[in-house]
Amino acid sequence: MKEFWGSMASLMGVWAFGQSLLQTVIPPELRFTLSKYINRLFNWCSTYCYYDITEIDGVNTNELYNAAQLYLSTSATANGNSRLSLTRAVNSSSLTFGLSNNDRLIDFFRGVPVQWEHVVIQRQSQTLSWRHVPDEKRGFTLRIRKRDKALILNPYLDHITDKANEIKRKNQDRFLYTNSRGGGGSLDSRGHPWESVPFKHPSTFDTLAMDPKKKEEIMADLKDFAKGQSFYQKTGRAWKRGYLLYGPPGTGKSSMIAAMANYLGYDIYDLELTEVHTNSELRKLLMKTSSKSIIVIEDIDCSIDFTNRKSAKSSGNHSSSSSSGGLPLGGGGGGNDGGGNSITLSGLLNFTDGLWSCCGSERIFVFTTNHIEKLDPALLRSGRMDMHIFMSYCSFSALKILLKNYLGYEDGDLDEDVVKQLEKVIEEAEMTPADVSEVLIKNRRDSERAVAELTESLKGRAERNRAAKGVELEEEEEKRALEKLTDGNEGFDSTADHLPER
């Protein structure tokens, strides 16, 4: 060992002497030229390409660095790295994992391995500077085989950007927007026609009280829409979709909208039509909405007085504007007189299906109503409202979800007799999920009492419904009997003109 370390010391001394001799004999310009050509020789002989992605490009932030950092957060946890950095962004409720300083990671894209290295270099202290310079120079170094460069480089970077945007959308808080008071032309303090608040609604498809098969169908449709950019481009269709939620009050239409937003990670624009005065204001509002959003008009049959085309024709108005859907939807029907509303049916149709509806991409239109029969058929056709979803009264499958949400009951926790009673009366009771939830909330601290009170409420509602239906049947039978009696006496006139003369 002594001889080994002695030899190593001699070699180090020779190396130091040779290096100092070269620096003395060879001028700096020649040394720089030699090192440049040596590096080129090594790069030419190497089988890899190296790409540096710095955090700051000049004075601007490099978006590709942020995208790579978010993308590698998922790969780092999947590869089981023993040392990771842990961060939480502003307006985010989830944690993000990332590579530690000067750590490496192997990723695979289309079966091709690539290597990432997080390079962190300490800067020398700068006492005089006109702008703040970070103490550390951060960046990623991407290593790819030269033979794979043309095959995967551009698709891989596009994949990283798309994946990072998806992660960012899921991690950050969503917002609920509403149009500013005073109409679509009004602007808030920042010059926008929409006012926003963080959207914190906890509703998801797991907690939504609805038939599981129907929920799976809706979720599959939403997933196909979100991943269908190439399909919509290939078929020449605008990347949008319309949903109509209809049914009695309290059946979960608003919760469905919140579940859709949480499932897709979209923002919600709650459009209040009563605050919009003209079609041009409606178009301006639409142009200021962002992609990946849900545009909602709740209770569309109540927000504006729908004097549709059929009612106009029945009142004797056969004008050309009536046949083209140009009737004002406001209650006054006379434009803006007296602060009225002059939005037309054609303007609303163009909002959902016309050229102006294509000024953005990946947007969903949702209309809700309690009375679908009041809506003009032009609003209901495919292309405007592509999927009609009936929000029905609470079924037994929906009841099981509510029992799990509020009382923690799983399948098999309830007695078979109780299950049979609930299954027997739930359909006849015609109680909404909101009514059932209210009963469970009041007694959530006593599960047995909650189930017992719910059973009694369902039985009482079912009996009242049966009695009401019996009265309706009797009235209908009396009406039919009267119609038969009237039909039998048809043509008989009891006036004195038909009596024979004496």
Three-state secondary structure string covering 150-198: HHHHHHHHHHHHHHHHHHHHHHECEEEEEECCCCCCCCCCCCCCEEEEE
The band of 339, judged by pLDDT with boundaries at 50, 70 and 90, is very low
Selection from 179, 418, 415 nearest residue 303 by Cα: 179
| Residue whose token pair is 């990723």 | 107
The residue assigned the tokens 């999927």 is 387
**DSSP E strands: which ranges in 350-391?**
363-369, 387-390
pLDDT band, very low/low/confident/very high, at 62 (cuts 50, 70, 90):
confident
Sequence letter at residue 255: S
Phi, psi of 55 (to 5 degrees): -70, -40
| Domain spans of the chain, in order of start | 23-171, 175-390, 396-483
- Predicted confidence band at 318 (pLDDT cuts at 50, 70, 90)? very low
Separation of alpha carbons 171 and 32, rounded Å: 48
Architecture of domain 175-390: 3-Layer(aba) Sandwich (3.40)
What is the spatial distance between Cα 74 and Cα 153, in angstroms, rounded to a whole number?
20
Q: What distance in Å separates the CA atoms of residue 369 and residue 246, rounded to the nearest whole number?
A: 5
List the end-to-end C-alpha distance of the chain, in Å, as a whole number. 155
Beta strands 293-297 and 96-99 are unpaired
Angstrom distance (rounded) from CA 257 to CA 14: 76
Strand 194-199, strand 240-246: pairing? unpaired
Segment 122-147 mean pLDDT? 70
Helix spans in 430-446 (H): 433-442
Helices (H), 315-355: 320-323, 345-353
Instruction: Report the number of secondary-structure helices (H) and strands (E) in the chain.
Output: 17, 15
Higher per-residue pLDDT: 492 or 5? 5
Q: Mean pLDDT across the chain, nearest whole number?
A: 79
Assess whether pLDDT exceeds 60 at residue 327: no
> Each residue of 110-147: b (16+ CB within 10 Å) or e?
eeeebebbbbeeeeeeeeeeeeeeeeeebbbebbbbee
Residue whose C-alpha is closest to residue 441's, from 403, 415, 471: 403
Whether 398 contacts 247, CB under 8 Å: no
Q: How much is the pLDDT for 312?
A: 47
Residue-level pLDDT at 321: 40
C-alpha distances out from residue 171 to 93, 95, 164, 166, 254, Å: 7, 8, 10, 9, 23
Phi-psi region of 250 (alpha: psi -120 to 50; beta: other; left: phi over 0): left
* Region of poorest pLDDT, from 93-102, 401-410, 425-434, 463-472: 93-102
Give me the mean pLDDT over the 61-80 stretch. 76
The token pair at 25 is 């004999």
> 109: helix, coil or strand?
strand
pLDDT tens-digit series, residues 397-426: 999 999 999 999 988 888 888 889 899 899
- At residue 332 the predicted structure's pLDDT band, cuts being 50, 70 and 90, is very low
